[in-house]
Amino acid sequence: MEQLKYIIVALFMASGMIASAQDKSKNTWGLVYGDAITKNSKGQVQIHPVHYELNGIRIAANVYTPANYDPTKHYPAIVVAHPNGGVKEQTAGLYAQRLAAAGYITIAADAAYQGASAGTPRHTDKPQFRTEDIHGMADYITQYAGVDVHRVAALGICGGGGYTLKAAQSDKRFAAVATLSMFNSGEVRRNGFQNSQLNTIQERLQQATEARAQEAAAGEIKYAGVASISDEEIANTSTDLYREGFTYYYRSHAHPNSTFLYTTSSLLDLMTWDATSGIELLNQPLLMIAGDRADTKYMSDEAFEKAINSKTKELFLLKGATHIDTYWKPVYVDQAVQKLVDFFGSNLKGQDSNHQ
């Protein structure tokens, strides 16, 4: 009961804090990243909010089209999967916009049960759903006017990177695969960040089991994660990922649809899942980008080594960057985007290429 009280209080605190952040954003589409589109101008990159059905759930997404987009031409396309707790208006939108500026049609969608997409219980975070979200983006964008279905790629950021590795194992519509600051959600939920909770795996599985039983018996949803956080708590957080992540999501780039909460029962699925399980099925060209100072880099290292059947693969390090730095700092975003453009340009070749 005490935990439930904490969640309720925290949710009220979070709603007030995030509403304040929303007031600061004057962007028409709620975009909170730097240099975001503020209006659709003729001859420039444009944003197109769209909705589509995926397994009976209404998905909210943004499609970005290149400058001077002509639906009668043939463009390469990229689906962009957002980080855990993130939404399409944050770093996923930033990279989608920047890649559109390089000549790609891109899509960033909110995961089912999260953001502006439908689905209940809210904040459900199951790997099979997040992976299906990526297949769903491919379903939609391959039907979009002007998209060359033979030149479609996937980019996953943070948790979206782990899910992208999984989706691309079987979905060969993705001719090339890239990750940025890849986060293996299953490994971390199971073992703890940097393998810090190996001794409590069974205890946490029991808690997840009880949460699932509680949902079934009483319809009461238990949540894990962080609903709100004080400046002092942020300052005292020891790991770069979480300290800088709290600042990004709850201060500098806050969005009303973004939250660190997820249903405790989701751990039943998360803790038995791993982004690298079956990764030998991945045979597409693979680019993995990570900051060389990122405390999450070990996850990219592990996945990269196990991807033994990718036709070509590269682990590209951003010198001096932490995990969260890659989400928004121009010096690192510029480098990452240039590397992505080079990679996709080399591996998405076809007729009527319009990208620069």
Q: Average per-residue pLDDT in the chain?
A: 92
pLDDT computed for residue 20 by the predictor: 30
Pull the structure tokens for residue 328: 């928004």
* Strands 286-291, 262-263: pairing kind: unpaired
Cα(179)–Cα(159) distance, integer angstroms: 10
The crossing angle, in degrees rounded to 10, of helices 91-101 and 330-347 is 50
Cα(345)–Cα(323) distance, integer angstroms: 25
3-state secondary structure of 47: strand
Asked if residues 29 and 116 have their Cβ atoms less than 8 Å apart, the reply is no
State phi, psi for 70 to the nearest 5 degrees.
-125, 110
- The contacts of residue 74 (CB under 8 Å, 6+ apart) are 146, 147, 148, 151, 350, 351, 352, 353, 354
The mean pLDDT value for 131-155 works out to 98
The mean pLDDT value for 95-105 works out to 98
- The contacts of residue 122 (CB under 8 Å, 6+ apart) are 113, 114
pLDDT computed for residue 349 by the predictor: 82
pLDDT computed for residue 25 by the predictor: 59
Asked if residues 261 and 224 have their Cβ atoms less than 8 Å apart, the reply is yes
Cα(351)–Cα(356) distance, integer angstroms: 14
Cβ neighbours around 19 below 10 Å, total: 11
Sign of CA dihedral 118, 122, 125, 126: negative
Asked if residues 330 and 337 have their Cβ atoms less than 8 Å apart, the reply is no
Question: Is 351 a residue whose pLDDT tops 80?
Answer: no
Q: Between residues 289 and 349, which one has the greater pLDDT?
A: 289
Among residues 173, 118, 129, 160, the alpha carbon closest in space to that of 269 is found at 129
- Which tens digit of pLDDT belongs to each residue from 263-318? 999 999 999 999 999 999 999 999 999 999 999 999 999 999 999 999 899 999 99
pLDDT computed for residue 350 by the predictor: 64
Domains of the chain: 2-347 (3.40.50.1820)
Q: Between residues 206 and 219, which one has the greater pLDDT?
A: 206
Q: Which H helix or E strand runs over 60?
A: strand 57-65
- Which tens digit of pLDDT belongs to each residue from 62-87? 999 999 999 999 999 999 999 999 99
The crossing angle, in degrees rounded to 10, of helices 159-170 and 127-141 is 70
- Which tens digit of pLDDT belongs to each residue from 8-64? 333 333 333 333 333 345 899 999 999 999 999 999 999 999 999 999 999 999 999
